[in-house]
Amino acid sequence: MKQMKQFLKTISWISLIVLLFMACKKNRCSDSVKAELKDLSGLDGCGYVIELENGNKLNPLNLCDFDIDLKDGNKIWVNYHLTNNFIGTTCMVGNIIEIDCIINR
């Protein structure tokens, strides 16, 4: 009986620690901003773009380099930098960027 109580106590502590880690899930992209994926494939030369909270749109050159859930309206964290590469896209929506980090939120 004493071993069973000790076992349950141990399981309870492990469960509590796991729940705390899950509840404290942090943004793993440092200096990232909240954004949302938008599917603009209906427009000539466009695919997925990133829409920031302020409504600005970003045209990523390297979105396919990341393991991200590509669906319209997917909420994300993104860290990026502007690029001067005008050859990489024919989509005329937003600034052309390269993504440094992107994760689902």
Q: How far apart are CA 44 and CA 42, in angstroms?
A: 7
pLDDT on residue 86: 62
Per-residue pLDDT band at 91 (split at 50, 70, 90): confident
Give the pLDDT confidence score for residue 32 in this predicted structure: 94
pTM over 0.85: no
Task: Specify whether the CB–CB gap between 76 and 68 falls below 8 A.
Answer: yes
Give the C-alpha separation, 28 to 17, whole Å: 20
| Average pLDDT of span 14-37 | 73
What confidence tens digit (pLDDT) does each residue in 50-64 have?
Answer: 999 999 999 999 999
Instruction: Give me 52's structure tokens.
Output: 């920031």
Domains of the chain: 33-104 (2.40.50.500)
pLDDT by residue (tens digit) across 69-79? 899 999 999 99
Dihedral, CA of residue 47, residue 51, residue 73 and residue 46, to nearest 10: -10
